[in-house]
Amino acid sequence: MHYTAMQTWAWVHKWSSLVCTAFLLMLCLTGLPLIFHDEIDEFFSPSDWQPANPGAELMSLDQIVRIAQDNRPGERPLYLSFDIDRPVVNVTTAPPTDSNQPDFHLMPYDLTSGDQVPFPEDASSAVMHFLLQLHTDMFLGLPGMLFLGFMGLLFAVATVSGIVLYAPFMRKIPFGTLRREKSRRLLWLDYHNLLGVVTIVWALLVGLTGVVNTLEEPIIDGWRNAELDDLIKQHQSVESIEHWASVDEAVASALTLAPDMEPQFIAFPGARYSTPGHFAVFLHGRTPVTEHIILPVLVNARTGEVEGRREMPWYAKTLALSGPLHFGDYGGMTLKVIWALLDLVLIAVLISGLYLWLKRGTGRSKVTSDLQSLEEQTA
């Protein structure tokens, strides 16, 4: 590589790394416990709840809705949501005149018996929520998310520029060589390069999916405004229905469009995300990778027939897939452990990079010092 080009790449690598390192360290440290958030929650707040009739045939959704209405007389159901891990369905009700106000009542019900399910007491929720907020937006909302997204892009630039700088020297020395007989700074540089190369694919994957995740709010708003609201507006003229058809039939009709999916959420007629005359049945994938892929389906509340659907656009699907990829939350405990180990290695890469910068030579330009260290690798 020409010396001028090497100078340019070294400058890019140094400053893109230095600008984002402190924030990357924060993200790595907060992301480590978030990888195991389910296990941490279960450890501090083990759930002793069990279905009343394990293995029994599940009650119909219509039966659960009637039980919820009996428990909240004078209120109407607005939403149903499903627990992924337990035979539990959550019913949200509200007074008819206040259905658009935050005066909602949510109650989980056991699908094996119709009994109310107690809300879990989560001793670790406050700590995990703090870490999640710090990790996603530093308590600054959308500006914080976008700022961290920019740091993620700088990290990607630092990673790519590091490859460009290290590649010529990899051809001249055996991979993984650690020159212990050389200077201490060169040994740290060897460690920095080796660990960086080992984690490079994972680091780019996690970094870029993290950038996508920081765009969650504008992506979801864009999908809701451009796609979902458009679907609802197309059928908004349907007259209001006082007595609707079976909720189970509405779900069954929606599942005929996507038999490989399952219901995630149901909005009743007149609620947000539905129309006065439709159930809005939101389906999602069955696997950890596809469970965030959502298909909204409008079902006529009088006839139970499907009258509209809207696939998630590519940008919303990209967001849905980036979440589990970012946290390794799709391959069980084995993948989580691998993600955690790679996270620790990346922390070592960041710390070694800081050490190399702090121990740079004096009386010469920083770029020249860094280039000499690189050139020493071939000595």
88-94 sheet: strands from edge to edge: 105-110, 88-94, 76-82, 261-267, 278-285, 294-300, 306-309
pLDDT in the model for residue 79: 94
Phi–psi pair at 117, nearest 5 degrees: -105, 130
pLDDT in the model for residue 84: 84
Task: List, in order, residues 6 or more apart from 88 with CB less than 8 Å away.
Answer: 82, 108, 109, 110, 111, 117
pLDDT in the model for residue 275: 86
Nearest by Cα to 328 from 35, 28, 41, 84: 35
pTM of structure:
0.79
Q: How far apart are CA 269 and CA 250, in angstroms?
A: 12
pLDDT, tens digit (0-9, with 9 covering 90-100), for 274-285: 888 889 999 999
Question: Per residue of the chain (379 residues), what is the pLDDT tens digit?
Answer: 576 887 888 889 889 999 999 999 999 999 999 999 888 887 777 677 889 888 889 999 999 999 999 999 988 899 999 998 889 999 999 887 654 555 788 999 999 999 999 877 665 577 888 999 999 999 999 999 999 999 999 999 999 988 888 777 667 677 667 777 777 777 888 888 888 888 889 999 999 999 999 998 888 888 887 778 888 877 776 666 667 889 999 999 999 999 999 999 999 998 888 888 889 999 999 888 888 889 999 999 888 899 888 888 888 889 888 988 898 888 789 999 999 999 999 999 999 988 888 877 543 444 445 455 555 544 4
> Domain limits of the chain?
3-33+126-215+331-376, 61-121+218-325
pLDDT, tens digit (0-9, with 9 covering 90-100), for 319-376: 888 988 898 888 789 999 999 999 999 999 999 988 888 877 543 444 445 455 555 5
pLDDT in the model for residue 176: 66
pLDDT in the model for residue 99: 45
